[in-house]
């Protein structure tokens, strides 16, 4: 197989591994607040929103050490062990206890930082400047198939259920745990990409840190590993305060806020609308499928076909923001303001129009489409701007995104829907403007590089 073919195969395997893992985890996050409300136990006193706030809070802090972990044990083992902790979190719902729920939330927060830093590293070392946009789109489209399959399963399993029984819960979470473990083991199919003379120094970076592992048996090897870990940490701190990353931080922060909204809050809102009838709970699954369709469409068109149709990044990000504005406005009109905070029996309040299931699901599609526009272009621009420091750069990316997601999950316990939507609109506008500025800087770098090569 050619070096380019091997790199593309690695991207596809990476995408399928994440697809299986996040079929389980994103489905879990989408339904957990609804499931928790229906527990037939007085011993459990957890909150899905609080759990997600803990996950993303720990996630943000752990991104400071994640590059060091990836540098020491390599991206492949980093993703495998992180995936095991994701599976542990999902399995906790089979027999839930408050202490195990929040302990697992802390562990998966640490795992998430390592997982996504390793993912960014694998994506970058298997890409060039000319293929980073395509590979980002392929990975993103495969990842977002997780929303389709997981939520289709939820719809079929819970169709017609007004109340989620303990047996319903156990069946779903046993299945999700097995699916997550399949994704973990897929990472062992990744292979070290062949070195190419035209590649950057990082393109020769081993996927499995074989040399580091061999050297670890000696004192000089241990010193080398410590130096690697410290160097990765210092690079991450330096990248965080660069002008480019500070500007991108607003855009990244917005993706964290809207990640919280579409992955946790909006599904809960739909399930709480009594006017949607007895199938409101199963509509959570259909909503997730619609989000997934939007994500897959956006990842395919604006990632894979980016080079062929000649789009730059700015028009795609602008389209993402406009798409989200339309979705937020329709949600404001269609969903009751107290829906995020409603009890298990739901809310009988209405917004400004007669509640429509069709409008609600159309908004789910728009949320997914807009999210894919932002994320594919952020992956692309970070991979281009920080190609030689991919692991620290993606760690900073996830640090900012996760801390904003944690903040959003925290205020979701208290704020009515219209206030949450207002925050999203304001931050989204600022994030779009700052992305335009960084894209202008990236184009200047590209033009200078082309000039120097003449």
Q: Does pLDDT of 109 surpass 80?
A: yes
pLDDT at 236: 74
Between the alpha carbon of residue 215 and those of residues 53, 65, 73, 120, 358, the distances in Å are 39, 22, 12, 25, 60
Complete domains list, the chain, with CATH: 1-190 (1.20.1250.20), 228-448 (1.20.1250.20)
Place of tokens 């991104």: 63
State the average pLDDT over residues 245-267.
90
For the question of whether the overall pTM of this predicted structure is more than 0.85, the answer is: no
Window from 49-53, 72-76, 97-101 with minimum mean pLDDT: 49-53
Residue (of 123, 127, 93, 130) closest to 108 by Cα position: 93
pLDDT at 202: 43
Q: Are 341 and 420 spatial neighbours (Cβ–Cβ below 8 Å)?
A: no
Residue (of 425, 421, 429, 428) closest to 332 by Cα position: 421
Window from 72-81, 216-225, 402-411 with minimum mean pLDDT: 216-225
Mean pLDDT of the chain: 81
259 compared with 144, residue with greater pLDDT: 259
Report the distance separating Cα 122 and Cα 77, nearest Å: 12
State the average pLDDT over residues 105-118.
92
- Quick: pLDDT tens for 261-272: 988 788 888 877
> In 10 A of CB 4, how many CB atoms?
14
Tokens, residue 319: 């389209």
Report the distance separating Cα 415 and Cα 140, nearest Å: 31
Place of tokens 């506008």: 429
Q: Are 282 and 158 spatial neighbours (Cβ–Cβ below 8 Å)?
A: yes
- Using 50, 70 and 90 to split pLDDT, how confident is the model at 172? confident
pLDDT at 149: 81
pLDDT at 217: 47
Cα radius of gyration rounded to whole Å, the chain: 21
């Amino acid at each position: 197989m050619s070096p380019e073919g091997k790199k593309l195969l690695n991207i596809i395997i990476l995408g399928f591994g994440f697809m299986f893992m996040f079929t389980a985890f994103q489905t879990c996050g989408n339904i957990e607040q609804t499931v928790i409300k229906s527990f037939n136990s007085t011993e459990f006193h957890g909150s899905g929103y609080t759990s997600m706030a803990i996950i993303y809070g720990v996630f943000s802090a752990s991104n400071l050490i994640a590059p060091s972990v990836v540098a020491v044990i390599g991206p492949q083992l980093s993703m495998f062990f992180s995936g095991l902790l994701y599976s542990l979190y999902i399995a906790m719902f089979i027999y839930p206890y408050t202490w195990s729920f929040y302990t697992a939330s802390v562990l998966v927060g640490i795992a998430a930082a390592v997982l996504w830093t390793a993912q960014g590293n694998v994506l970058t070392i298997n890409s060039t400047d000319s293929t980073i946009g395509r590979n980002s789109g392929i990975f993103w489209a495969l990842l977002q198939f997780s929303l389709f399959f997981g939520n289709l399963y939820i719809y079929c399993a819970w169709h017609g259920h007004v109340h989620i029984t303990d047996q319903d819960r156990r069946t779903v979470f046993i299945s999700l745990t097995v699916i997550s473990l399949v994704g973990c083991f897929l990472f062992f199919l990744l292979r070290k990409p062949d070195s190419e003379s035209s590649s950057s120094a990082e393109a020769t970076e081993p996927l499995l840190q074989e040399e580091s592992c061999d050297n670890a048996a000696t004192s000089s090897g241990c010193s080398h590993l410590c130096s690697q870990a410290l160097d990765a940490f210092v690079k991450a701190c330096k990248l965080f305060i660069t002008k480019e990353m500070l500007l991108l931080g607003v855009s990244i922060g917005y993706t964290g806020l809207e990640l919280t909204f579409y992955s946790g809050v909006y599904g809960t809102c739909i399930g709480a609308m009594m006017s949607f009838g007895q199938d409101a709970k199963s509509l959570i699954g259909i909503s997730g499928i619609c989000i997934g369709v939007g994500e897959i469409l956006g990842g395919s068109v604006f990632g894979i076909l980016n080079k062929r149709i000649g789009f730059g990044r700015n028009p795609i990000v602008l389209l993402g923001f406009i798409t989200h504005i339309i979705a937020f406005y329709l949600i404001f009109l269609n969903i009751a303001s107290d829906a995020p905070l409603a009890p298990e029996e739901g809310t009988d309040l209405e917004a400004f129009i007669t509640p429509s299931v069709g409008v609600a699901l159309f908004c789910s599609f728009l949320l997914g489409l807009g999210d894919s526009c932002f994320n594919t272009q952020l992956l692309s621009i970070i991979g281009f701007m920080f190609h030689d420091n991919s692991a620290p750069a993606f760690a900073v990316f996830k640090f900012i995104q996760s801390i904003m997601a944690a903040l959003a999950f925290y205020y979701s316990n208290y704020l009515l829907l219209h206030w949450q939507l207002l925050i999203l609109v304001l931050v989204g506008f600022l994030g779009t403007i700052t992305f335009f500025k960084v894209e202008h800087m990236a184009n200047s770098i590209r033009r200078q590089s082309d000039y120097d090569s003449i």
